[in-house]
Amino acid sequence: MNIEQKINQLREELREHNHNYYVLDTPTISDYEFDLKLKELQELETNHPQHYDPNSPTLRVGGEITKNFKTVTHEFRMYSLANSYSKEELEDWEKRIKKFVDGVIEYTCELKYDGASINLSYENGELLRGVTRGDGYQGDDVTTNIKTIKSVPLKLKGNFPKRFDIRGEIILPFEGFAKMNKTREEAGEDLYRNPRNTASGSLKLQDSREVAKRPLECLLYSIKGKGLPFTTQFEGLENAREWGFKVPKAAKIARNMTEVMDYINYWDIHRYDLPYETDGVVIKVNSFYQQEELGYTAKVPRWAIAFKFKSEQAVTILHKITYQVGRTGAITPVANLEPIDLAGTIVKRASLHNADQIEKLDIREGDTVFVEKGGEIIPKIVGVDLEKRTKNLQHTSYITHCPKCNTELVRKDGDAKHFCPNIMGCPPQIIGRIQHFISRKAMDIEGLGGETVALLVENGLIINYADLYDLTEDKLIPLERMAQKSAENLINGVEASKQITFERVLFSLGIRFVGETVAKKLARHYKSINALANASEEELILVDEIGDVIAKSVVSFFSSEENKTLIDRLKLYGLQLEISSERLTNQTDKLEGKTFVVSGIFFKVTRNELKQLIEDNGGKVSSSISKKTAYVIAGENIGPSKKTKAESLKVPIITEDEFLLMIS
């Protein structure tokens, strides 16, 4: 056996032993024997560097230093999940999805692991990269640290697709967390607060050797890719397990909502027997075909929902109520609390939402209050212990003037919150609008963060987002913590933002009620900022999914002289304030006024591409058939009830080819 063969043999043996120990929990050799083989392989690789393998088992010990984590765009967006807290909410969700799909629906029930989300990409059976969830669209490349986690396979076994992504949670089991804290306690260091935050923080450590010391695990739950060799979520889990991934066996198929609730009720009791944290159950429509039929909203998949176990509750003292000012001028009252440990984190503040909530609960400074984590994330006050209230506590009078600029607050009919109307002169509103403008989903300006924005405003260098385009290096360098390189990066980032597309520029302007989805619809419909600025409320309401509230907000924004001046300056600086001619050539009005329903499996274009073609040609996509439906585009395996309904309403059913011919 030559050197290369010996190296490959050791690698294969170590991968197998590693899988047996960390994934199957059935070790076949002792730790001592494993370490001897690992040491032998390390020596061979050191002496024969020509046989380097980026996925060798020796790399699990770490050693690489990462100063800056590269941002990577996810090939498949990582969506959030809608939450539910009762059987009734789950039944409502089931009623909604049954309106969209035909036939029997079965569900895959899985535990909701409480860790740090990760997306792993594999190519030809080898780990390509590991990327954090980030904002769902893009995250940080933490591959070097991921390779140190023993339950993440660096090479796969069996019959796997050539290219795919797999998602999961990086978690820290209770036993390992306890050992870490014992070591820190003996060293006289501060203890880690909880396993979830510790696991999440581990992924961004610069020294992978430190990550390797932590007993992290990776539990996988979702595969994304094209041409996958299975058609259901449950089959995907079974396949992933065969390829070498650690997939908990708690997942189960449920044929109806009664079986779903049985699963939830069982784990609500037995979750405390698990070796790691879980805060609920995820219910998914099992069939990939039905998942595709259901699709997504702007934020969540329609085919999945999380059931959250009852939140932990704590009792503490409310010392003081303060008030925050948001970028839209909205005032949010905040309870400043006696610090309390809640679900593994120290809680010092909680939202009081608005004046009505304070009045409803009759919350007063000095009260003993009950605090919960809403959805296990945001602390909120859910009640007052009136038996412990002393007679001298004063009734809470909601503030009448802005806490930052002293402008008298306003509250319009139908608004739950009070607002500061000093839009152009209130510091938190100024900073908040600029922070929104530079955010990742908006202008995504490299080298410019929230703290730097505040620094620029406080030093009088900017008072609105248009001022960013007047900044120069010599203005920036005198600022605290602003070196030559930082100034260069900021200026370059601002310059690069001039290439951001019109719909994202529109979103970045911060028009109230105009989020990402609405901005896309308005950009596609009006095609330029000039056309949008000249639209009346009546015209805006005619745009798909634009109602009275959004229409009034848009007209109000563009009627402001200050905003008109800002837009004129942005035009002057060269921002993309209209859809480019290249994109316009792919858009027509051929399908104007026509509504389409898409059903079945397609081969020449994907379902999403089909929907995009409809919208690019002026049409509208609907999920249900009605008298207003112009056409049903039918692929293979069209839902029988959709076909029946289309025929009963005399809605034409066309093929994929007929549609493509229609827009050619």
What is the distance between the alpha carbons of residues 636 and 117, in angstroms, rounded to a whole number? 35
Q: Rounded to whole angstroms, what are the CA distances from 648 to 97, 358, 595, 644?
A: 22, 54, 17, 6
Q: Is 256 left (phi over 0), alpha (psi -120 to 50) or beta?
A: beta
Kind of pairing between the strands at 278-285 and 345-351: unpaired
Compute the C-alpha angle 507/511/517, nearest 5°: 40
Q: Which of 188, 211, 187, 191 is nearest to 201 (CA)?
A: 211
Residue 648 DSSP SS3: helix
Asked if 41 contacts 56 with a C-beta cutoff of 8 angstroms, the reply is yes
Neighbours of 232 (CB within 10 A): 19
Give the SS3 label for residue 279. Answer: strand
| Pairing mode, strands 653-654 and 629-634 | parallel
Q: Would you give the distance in Å from CA 220 to the centre of its chain?
A: 17
- Could you give the CA distance from residue 506 to residue 519 in angstroms, rounded to a whole number? 6
Token look-up 């080298």 returns 447
Q: How far, in Å, CA of 436 to CA of 505, rounded?
A: 11
Residue 53's Cβ-count burial label (10 Å; 0-12, 13-18, 19+) is middle
Q: Where does 187-231 have alpha helices with state H? A: 195-202, 208-212
Which class for 231: exposed (0-12), middle (13-18), buried (19 or more C-beta within 10 A)? exposed
Element (H, E) at 642: helix 640-648
3-state class percentages of the chain: helix first, strand second, coil last, to nearest 5:
40, 20, 40
Cα–Cα distance list, 564 to 554, 555, 556, 559, 570 (Å): 12, 12, 11, 7, 10
User: Are the C-beta atoms of 280 and 307 separated by less than 8 Å?
Assistant: yes
User: Would you name the residues annotated as active-site residues?
Assistant: 112
Q: Helices 3-22 and 31-47 meet at what angle, rounded to 10?
A: 150
> What residues have CB less than 8 Å from 443, skipping those under 6 apart?
437, 497, 500, 504, 505, 508
Secondary structure of residue 323 in the 3-state scheme: strand
Cα 521 to chain centroid, rounded? 21
The set of residues, in sequence order, having a beta carbon less than 8 Å from that of 249 and lying 6+ positions away, is none
CA distance 622 to 595: 7
Give residue 340's region: left, alpha or beta (phi > 0; psi -120 to 50).
beta
Residue 321: which of 351, 285, 284 has the closest Cα?
A: 351
Q: Measured at the alpha carbon of residue 400, what is the angle toward residues 394 and 401, in degrees to the nearest 5?
A: 125
Distance of CA 597 to the CA centre of its chain: 28
- Residue position matching structure tokens 């004063």: 394
Q: Which residues contact 635 (CB under 8 A, 6 or more apart)?
A: 598, 599, 600, 601, 602, 603, 607, 656
